[in-house]
């Protein structure tokens, strides 16, 4: 019998914990502040930014929003990032991706001060993750680890397969699992015998961006399935990278889409903002 891991439930627990930390900081005269930059009018990005704003309100974090037109020049965006870098009242800076094609994402993200990089995309923060000595973690992988801890799922000695090798999810996810003494395999478009590799996994993290990519014949009985994918179908419905209905009967734990990993990403962003605030104010 499978159990659904509810991202809504776990994220509420994280946000309540963050709320308590915010109250403690405010009692010491410190107001955590997150600045979010949105360039252009991508509908999905707008939804994400709105959800982040709501989470900030729930947790008591001051939220700043900078919405720039799609035709914004790179020097204008850089000027804004530098301004926020130098503003001591701003603890976290997040530049919503994707940026319009004429803007250099790498250049912009690398400009954000590492201590304000609440997405943990700066090379300095990525390096800390590689050696297991970090202040911030990318929000989605960190949210997944929080879900596993919430359900007391121990990774020690487990075979974990991550499908997808992105810098945002796949690679850092593998590093976090490795830190918990799992044996980790990263699969991608060039992986041979992918079905057989995935079928040997105790824990599967699907982050490939293809609807219903993981099918029941790729899942062994009792596997834990974490679905990072969020894909909009022709009928407007959302679905993940895992064929949920077919795979759930073989799983011990499984995350739904929507309502699984998604809410955890935002909750972890709130936690990262508090961590940044503590570090910048000598409270760590």
Catalytic residue among 117, 119, 202, 243: 119
Parallel, antiparallel or unpaired: strands 238-239 and 231-232 = antiparallel
Distance, in Å, from the CA atom of 81 to the CA atom of 92, rounded to the nearest integer, reads 11
Give catalytic status of residue 234 as yes or no.
no
Q: Is 52 a catalytic residue?
A: yes
* DSSP strands (E only) in 112-158: none
For residues 10 and 142, give the distance between their C-alpha atoms in angstroms, rounded to a whole number. 12
The residue whose two tokens read 């397969």 is 161
Q: Which one of 52, 158, 171, 248 is the catalytic residue?
A: 52
- Going from the C-alpha of 218 to that of each of 195, 199, 204, 235, the distances in angstroms are 5, 5, 10, 26
| Cβ atoms within 10 Å of 76's Cβ, excluding its own | 13
Strand order in the sheet with 33-39: 62-68, 33-39, 92-95
Contact (Cβ atoms closer than 8 angstroms) between residue 62 and residue 92:
no
On the 0-12 / 13-18 / 19+ scale of CB atoms within 10 A, 67 is middle
Active site residue 96: yes
* Active-site amino acid positions: 52, 96, 119
């Amino acid at each position: 019998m499978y159990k659904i891991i509810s991202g809504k439930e776990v994220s509420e627990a994280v946000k309540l914990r963050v709320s308590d930390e915010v109250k403690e900081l405010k009692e010491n005269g410190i107001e955590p502040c997150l600045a979010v930059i949105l360039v252009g009018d991508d509908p999905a990005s707008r939804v994400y930014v709105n959800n982040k704003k709501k989470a900030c309100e729930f947790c008591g974090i001051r939220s700043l929003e900078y919405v720039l037109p799609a035709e914004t020049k790179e020097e204008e965006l850089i000027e804004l990032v530098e301004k926020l870098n130098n503003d001591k009242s701003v603890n976290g800076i997040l530049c919503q991706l994707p940026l319009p094609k004429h803007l250099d994402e790498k250049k912009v993200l690398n400009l954000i001060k590492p201590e304000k990089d609440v997405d943990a995309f700066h090379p300095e923060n990525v390096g800390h993750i590689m050696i297991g000595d970090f202040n911030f973690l990318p929000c989605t992988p960190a949210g997944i680890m929080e879900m596993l801890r919430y359900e007391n799922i121990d990774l020690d000695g487990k075979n974990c397969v991550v499908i997808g090798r992105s810098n945002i999810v796949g690679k850092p996810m593998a590093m976090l699992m490795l830190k918990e003494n799992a044996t980790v395999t990263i699969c991608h478009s060039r992986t041979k015998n992918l079905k057989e590799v995935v079928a040997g996994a105790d824990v599967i993290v699907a982050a490939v961006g293809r609807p219903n990519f993981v099918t029941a014949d790729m899942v062994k009985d009792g596997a834990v399935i974490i679905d990072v994918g969020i894909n909009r179908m022709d009928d407007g419905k959302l679905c993940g990278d895992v064929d949920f209905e077919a795979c759930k009967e073989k799983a011990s734990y499984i995350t739904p889409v929507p309502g699984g990993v998604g809410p955890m990403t935002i909750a972890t962003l709130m936690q990262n903002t508090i961590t940044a605030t503590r570090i910048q104010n000598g409270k760590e």
